[in-house]
Amino acid sequence: MAARIDHTVHIELGERRYPIFIGSGLLAAAPTYSGLPRAAQALIVSNTTVAPLYADALRSALQAHYQRVHVVALPDGEQYKDWQTLNRIFDALLAHECDRKTVLFALGGGVVGDMTGFAAASYMRGVPFVQVPTTLLAQVDSSVGGKTAINHPLGKNMIGAFYQPQRVICDLDTLGTLPERELSAGIAEVIKYGPIADMALLDWLEQNMDALRGRDPAALAHAIRRSCEIKAAVVGQDEREAGLRAILNFGHTFGHAIEAGLGYGEWLHGEAVGCGMVMAATLSARLGLVDDAFVQRLRRLIDRAGLPVVGPRLDARDNAGRYLELMRVDKKAESGEIRFVVIEKPGQAGVRGAADALVREVIDACCLRQ
Ligand code: NAD
Ligand code: GLY
């Protein structure tokens, strides 16, 4: 099938400006990779699920540009986003005598993308890398903007670096093999952009949720383009999260507590974010910023996306206390005070602290009773 770029979105970062290509047949087409930094070797980093599906096609396309193209397939799962697995990328680079021009290609979802980016940031103090995201979540969020990291047992994404890719290749065809649960997890991050930045996107999602869940290519292309445009605008203004970029973490403070509290991999990241958005919207309502109708509207949409809207219990005796304890490890926390992304008004987000007692009320209202 001929390659077709439907949309190109640019991340504007001066000399580090780079494009996001969105389209069909891109992954296997050699021209997709023209103009990247020249090197003798390339390393495709993938995992044991995605490599059998797409690594051969990517390798063939890359062979037009690099003399030697290697593949390393990591174990699959959020629980492997750790030091030990990261080291397997360095092992492969060193075993193949890869020099500091070697280009890394992250082929997979956000876990592979975050780990490959971090490896690229640190191998020989930095080598170029390209994101080839194959989940919806990675295409609308994680592959874009240069946040790279691994998890620590005490906190998610705690060890990492800001390091931008050379290019992002979003091939819609790869979403055809994505399990339904993963598709829903990706839709969570698309929904996120509505309440924080673009209520027209929320309207569009209400009208097109069935098409999106049915993987209609035009609906997917629109959702990915609009998500990337919004993320590009935010990252272009605040690459290193001095302020504004924090709004992209709407739902994530509660969500990260769910992920860490249940054990990484139990709930998908997008599922935790979906439920976390209901909690953060509820907090916004209790702070008097939005009305209950807004919270219910968002909750209905998240439910229609096939995502959980009721929080799990993380502790049988003091559930809210456990959430609070986990949320204090959040990167936005300052001197132990948790900072929440809240909706200031529909389509606009901000970051605020909140009294523990109020947060406890929100958690009690949003979680399973027992
Ligand atoms: P993931 O990388 O675990 O991928 C989900 C699952 O889908 C995996 O089992 C994977 O092997 C499989 N898969 C991937 N592509 C497939 C395909 N085309 N067909 C079939 N199976 C496929 O999860 P994710 O949701 O993509 O990413 C979540 C991660 O992203 C989390 O670690 C999160 O912290 C991170 N994240 C990072 C950022 C950022 O800005 N860097 C933003 C959001 C999320
Ligand atoms: N996903 C949040 C960010 O990129 O800042």
CA distance 181 to 314: 22
**Ligand 1 first shell, C-beta below 6 A:** 47, 49-50, 53, 76, 78, 81, 108-112, 114, 134-135, 137-138, 141-142, 145, 147, 157, 174, 177-178, 182, 185, 269-270
Amino acid sitting at position 56: D
Report CA(27)–ligand 1 centroid distance (Å): 17
What tokens were used for 163?
């390091």
What tokens were used for 168?
């992002």
CA distance 301 to 144: 24
Residue of the CA atom closest to atom 3 of ligand 2: 248
299: number of CA atoms within 13 Å, CB side?
Answer: 16
Q: Is 189 a catalytic residue?
A: yes
Q: What is residue 190's predicted lDDT score, i.e. its pLDDT?
A: 98
CA distance 100 to 263: 36
Q: Specify the 3-state DSSP secondary structure of 161.
A: strand
Report CA(123)–ligand 1 centroid distance (Å): 22
Q: Is 101 a catalytic residue?
A: no
Structural domains in the chain, sorted by start: 4-177 (3.40.50.1970), 180-366 (1.20.1090.10)
Running along the chain, 370 residues long, what does each successive block of 10 average in pLDDT? 91 97 98 97 98 98 98 96 97 98 98 98 98 98 98 88 98 98 98 98 98 97 98 97 96 94 92 98 98 98 98 96 92 84 98 96 93
Q: Where are the beta strands (DSSP E) in 137-236?
A: 147-152, 155-162, 168-171
Q: Is 12 a catalytic residue?
A: no
Catalytic residue among 156, 256, 299, 339: 256
**Ligand 1 closest atom vs CA 175:** 18
Q: Could you give the C-alpha distances from 317 to 147, 219, 238, 322, in angstroms and in order?
A: 36, 44, 41, 9
60: number of CA atoms within 13 Å, CB side?
Answer: 7
Q: Among 17, 19, 103, which residue's Cα sits nearest to residue 58?
A: 103
